[in-house]
Each structure stands twice: as C-alpha cells, then as structure tokens.
C-alpha cells in the first residue's frame, strides 16, 4: 500500500510522506492486537507482516535521516541518544538473557548472533526512552522503534516460531505494557506475553519468569 501511494521520496514530499508512512506502520502494528482472535499462528503471521511493513518504511527513508533531524517534526523522531552504558533492572535481565540463550537446544552461532542483535536494539529503545518513562509519559515511539530496527533475519526466526525469537519477543511485551495507557496499545503487552507463554508451553516457563513479573495479569 505504501509503495503504491508514494513512488519516490523527495524534498517536496519528504515530511508528509514520512508522517503518512509512520501512521500507516503504527496502524498495521496495533491492528494486529485489536482483534487478535484465538488462532495463535494467525496472530504471529500478522505480527510478522506488520514488522516487515515497518522495516520497509525505514528503508524508504535511508539517506534522509539527517534532513529529518533538522525539520519541524524532529521532536516526533527517535534517534537513540540514550546512554548505552546505562544499566538498570531491564538492562541487567537482557544481559542475563544473552548469556542464557546458548543453552537452548540446537542453538547455532548464526541464530545466536541475530538474537543478540535484537536484544541490543531492545536495550537501545529502552535507554533512549528513559526520560519519557521517568516522567511517567512513555510515548508510542517506544513500541514502534524496535520493530522498525529489527534485522530481517530476526523476523525470519520469528516466522519460524523458534524458541529464542519468541523469548526475545516476550521481553518486548514489557515495553508494550509500559505504554498501556496509550489508546492504541491497551492490553497488547499482556496479550503478546500470553501468546508466547501459550505457544512455548510449560517447558519454557523459567525463561519467561521475569517478563511475567513485569507484565502482570496476562489475559
């Protein structure tokens, strides 16, 4: 839909195209949670498609980020100025997860590298959003930045329902839950965690203990 509407990004249409694409990506993402239904495979398929769309939007604006940083909508953007040396409970648990992932049966080095990349991006989103979190007003960009920056290889792993990819996704539910007051998010964090819990089953409960403690009352 996006590519059909905008054939080429230029200086004249840059801002309206960027705003439109951002709204479109957010719509597809949150629509995944609006009427999730009971078919878990269908839900994950829709989520993967939404992530692919959002990543495609990012690709369209390669080469324009320096211009966007200086334009009138720069306050809407997330450029990741957070301190990657920062540590807190969330960061510590992400580091612990990285150390634990090699213990998954059949885990190969290539897959491990992809999962570490997804975790790194999750940390980046978290530390870049700390100011808004501490003010008690997390912004929707918290929930869109991570999907936009994910590597294609991670999306492929998620499409295959690999345990590692699903476990990392469960940790993203914590950021979704932090934005639960936003009308478009609501119970998305709880639902996402429940999907992962149900899909993985009891054998993986210990891997999800911390996300479950941060996203209470899974629906």
Is 1 among the domain residues? Answer: no
Task: Give yes or no for residue 20 having a pLDDT over 70.
Answer: yes
Q: Show the domain range for 30.
A: 13-76
Q: Are residues 45 and 117 in the same domain?
A: no
Q: Are residues 49 and 123 in the same domain?
A: no
Average pLDDT, the chain: 81
Give 131's pLDDT tier (boundaries 50, 70, 90): low
Instruction: Quickly count: other Cβ atoms within 10 Å of residue 209's Cβ.
Output: 9
Domain end (from 27, 46, 76): 76
Residue 144, classed as helix, strand or coil, is helix
pLDDT of residue 6: 53
Backbone angles phi and psi of 71, in degrees to 5 = -90, 180
Q: Are residues 47 and 93 in the same domain?
A: no
Interval 65-110: pLDDT, tens: 677 667 766 555 655 556 566 778 999 999 999 999 999 999 999 9
Q: Are residues 64 and 116 in the same domain?
A: no
Task: Give yes or no for residue 157 having a pLDDT over 80.
Answer: yes
Q: Are residues 100 and 205 in the same domain?
A: yes
Is 171 among the domain residues? Answer: yes
Is 183 among the domain residues? Answer: yes
Residues above pLDDT 90, as percent of the chain: 38
pLDDT of residue 12: 74
Structure tokens at 205: 């409960």
Q: Are residues 62 and 21 in the same domain?
A: yes
């Amino acid at each position: 839909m996006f590519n059909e509407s905008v054939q080429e990004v230029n200086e004249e249409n840059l801002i309206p195209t960027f705003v439109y694409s951002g709204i479109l990506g957010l719509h597809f993402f949150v629509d995944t949670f609006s009427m999730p239904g009971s078919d878990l495979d269908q839900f994950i398929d829709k989520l993967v498609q939404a992530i692919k769309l959002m990543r495609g939007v990012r690709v369209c604006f390669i080469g324009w980020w320096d211009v966007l940083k200086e334009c009138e909508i720069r306050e809407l953007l997330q450029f990741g100025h957070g301190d990657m040396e920062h540590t807190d409970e969330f960061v510590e648990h992400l580091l612990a997860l990285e150390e634990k992932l090699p213990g998954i049966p059949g885990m190969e080095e290539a897959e491990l590298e992809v999962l570490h990349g997804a975790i790194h991006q999750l940390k980046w989103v978290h530390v870049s959003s700390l100011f808004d979190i501490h003010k008690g007003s997390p912004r929707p960009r918290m929930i869109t930045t991570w999907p936009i920056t994910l590597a294609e290889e991670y999306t492929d792993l998620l499409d295959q329902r690999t345990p590692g990819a699903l476990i990392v996704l469960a940790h993203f539910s914590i950021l979704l839950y932090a934005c639960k007051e936003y009308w478009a998010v609501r119970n998305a964090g709880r639902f996402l965690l429940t999907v992962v819990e149900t899909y993985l089953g009891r054998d993986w409960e210990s891997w999800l203990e911390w996300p479950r403690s941060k996203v209470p009352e899974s629906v």
